[in-house]
Amino acid sequence: MPEASYRKLEPVALSRVRLTGGFWAERVETTRAVTLPIEYDLCKKTGRIDAWKWAPGERHEPHIFWDSDVAKWIEAAAYSLTTRPDKKLERRIDAVVEMMAQAQGEDGYLNSHFLRVEPQKRWTNLRDWHELYCAGHLMEAAVAYHEVTGKREFLDLMCRYADYIGKVFGRKKGQKRGYPGHEEIELALVKLYRATGERRYLDLSKFFVDERGRRPHYCDLEAVERGEVPKGHRHGDYRYNQSHLPVREQTEVLGHAVRACYLYAGMADVAAETGDRELARACRRLWKNLTEKRLFVTGGVGPTSRNEGFTIDYDLPNESAYAETCAAIALVFWAHRMLHLDADAQYADVMERALYNGVLSGISLDGKRFFYANPLAVYPAMNEFSPGHVTATRQEWFGCACCPPNVARLLASIGGYMYSKGRNEIWVHLYGAGAVEIETKGQNVSIEQKTEYPWQGRVRIHVAPERPSTFALALRVPGWCRQAKVKVNGKAVALDKIIRKGYAHISREWKSGDTVDFELPMPVERIEANPKVRQDCGRVALQRGPLVYCLEEADNGRDLSDLALPRDSRLRVVTDRKLFGGTPAIVGKALRRDERAWKTGAGDGRALYRPAGSKTKSVTIKAVPYFLWANRREGEMVVWIREA
């Protein structure tokens, strides 16, 4: 077993959590029943599954990171088995694992592309070729499958691979001092360490973290070995993969956003397991830069398609926002680790923001289609003219299919993000109908949440230890909530006295039958962005509870940019049964210009410019949750609404 971690909180395992009939339970069920079968079929159809058993040279097709797609699907499927046992699904996974076992090299190497298509190129281009990235995803899948089923075969396979990687990479003579061009294995190795207790996996993770960005630059050395020009990186420089500086010296979130957030999550993991304060400080510094200057209101990260990543402070465009689904997921991973390191609700706030908005928008309500990028505004003909993956409609699949199985594995494991244990506390980070069994002080404490969160803000929590026991229940007071109230067994508790770092600590002797009523009022809020966010000046986003809202053409007609919301316009919440079966929408009065004033002469002639002073007319607008956009017909969408 691993040594004691330095982190303040320990997450409560997914297997302990039951979600019952609420918001998340529905998404978990859709993932299980719809998304996972579809994704398996697509992996099968595209050759991703069978690539493992092709003879060397048989086909040139396996994509350089196909393995990661399969791995993420297995991981998602494994989590899904905790919700509902499924022998057929297990057999599917076992069959893939068996193929991998057959494919694995004598030395432990395991990568379908480099075993089958380009064996001579193994480990020759860490910068671009994703071998360690794929290895990391396979390790995560193996750990998940082992945790859920107790089966060891996949885990053993990956330990052999990890051991082999540990021989190839290191600071001893003959070893490579390289590190992944796409980070991911760092956090995976820490999972492997936690699952096996083998310290060497943690050490290898720390090695990868610490080698990054050292001089001479490994990617340069490696390029020269290949006979290429050093620095010839297609993305201009090493900020792209966060190797421009040693990670401890980094102060700005930079480069490809998924790479970045996976790295930062891995850094937080290493800091948590080693007590490395310098590394933890680097994580907090990067977090501060992200959350104070580079985070979309939806929890999306990475503003541009050019590097699928970060640019400069306060650059948060709406139409061209990349905000990759995978990046929001990676941010959830990072936030979750920071939360456990520091026990501070600022991390849970961002985690929740990303989950309910930038992550969930990545998948259609029916679980069948996916966004790669998650723009905050959409205009006509965007599918034709927008850059890269920024589209106005969700797709069934992608050539680079990282997002679909990534969103599946997060949704399938959402229960694992809800609760933690502290030294003498039970922590509740996310609200949602369901229950959990937490072992504390040698007994099981059952916690049950009854709530319609996020649609409304009342949460009733039943606390039931086996025997009366003194501990604190630490309830997160969401950052969006300005007037939370709490009652224990019907009696009000003064919140201001018990809040520390965003959590209300209710410390008492709990006994079975105790009830906490937590009230989180959810008025509609208008949010404004820092004046340095040039794209949002003069605009507001509507938020209710954890949900960011948006205007869609389906409800508001075309030319959404011309709508302006007066400052004194009253915004009401209405529940529309025809809107996805009764989703709360926000309605209010807004202004738009009268187009008739722009006609010139006869026919369809229109002026393009004219002296200012157009008359406006009053219209009713209806905003819907951002994560639900593009689930009806294709059309315009805006998150940031102009204020009049």
| Catalytic residue list | 308, 402
Question: In this structure, which long-range contacts are made by residues 120-124, counting pairs with CB atoms below 8 Å and at least 24 apart in sequence?
Answer: 123/168, 123/176, 123/178, 124/222, 124/225, 124/226
Residue 233 sits in the site that holds its own copies (CB under 8 A): no
Tokens standing for 600? 């010139």
User: Considering the rule CB under 8 A, would residue 593 count as an interface residue with its own copies?
Assistant: yes
8 Å CB contact between 636 and 552: yes
Contacts of 468 (CB under 8 A, 6+ apart): 509, 510, 511, 512
Give residues 203-232 in contact with its own copies (rule: CB under 8 A): none
Where does this chain touch its own copies (CB under 8 A) — which range of 37-45, 81-89, 501-509, 589-597? 589-597
Determine the 3-state secondary structure of 75 from DSSP.
Answer: helix
If one asks whether residue 623 binds its own copies (CB under 8 A), the answer comes out as no
Exactly one of 34, 435, 498, 537 binds its own copies (CB under 8 A); that residue is 537
Close Cβ partners of 558 (under 8 Å, ≥ 6 residues apart): 380, 635, 636
Q: Which stretch binds its own copies (CB under 8 A): 32-40, 176-184, 201-209, 536-544?
A: 536-544
Rounded to whole angstroms, how far apart are CA atoms 268 and 279? 7
Applying CB under 8 A, among 173, 605, 615, 633 the residue interacting with its own copies is: 605
56 is an interface residue for its own copies by CB under 8 A: no
End-to-end CA distance of the chain: 61
By beta-carbon proximity to its own copies, the closer residue of 487 and 642 is 642
What is the total count of residues that contact its own copies (CB under 8 A)? 57
**Which tokens go with 308?**
């699928």
Within a 13 Å sphere around the CA of 433, how many CA atoms are in the beta-carbon half? 16
* Chosen residue from 87, 106, 172, 385 binding its own copies by CB under 8 A: 385
Residue (443 or 614) nearer to its own copies, CB: 614
Give the separation between CA 634 and CA 266, rounded to whole angstroms.
Answer: 38
Query: Which C-beta is closer to its own copies: that of 442 or that of 531?
Result: 531
Question: Does 311 sit near its own copies (CB under 8 A)?
Answer: yes
Backbone dihedral region for residue 108 (phi beyond 0: left; psi -120 to 50: alpha; all else: beta): left
Dihedral sign from CA coordinates of 94, 404, 633, 384: negative
Both tokens assigned to 385: 């003219």
Nearer to its own copies, 97 or 392 (CB): 392
Single residue of 33, 95, 221, 312 touching its own copies by CB under 8 A: 312
Instruction: Name the amino acid, one letter, at 96.
Output: V
Interacting residue with its own copies among 272, 327, 328, 533 (CB under 8 A): 533
DSSP 85: -
Query: Is 544 near its own copies (CB under 8 A)?
Result: no
Among 44, 84, 121, 288, binds its own copies (CB under 8 A): 288
- 197/145 Cα distance (integer angstroms): 17
Q: Looking at 59, 231, 532, 617, which residue binds its own copies (CB under 8 A)?
A: 532
Asked if 634 is part of the footprint of its own copies (rule: CB under 8 A), the reply reads no
Binding site for its own copies (CB under 8 A): 288, 291-293, 295, 297, 304, 306, 311-312, 315, 320, 379-381, 384-385, 387, 525-535, 537-538, 540-541, 558-562, 564, 567, 592-593, 595, 598, 605-614, 642-644
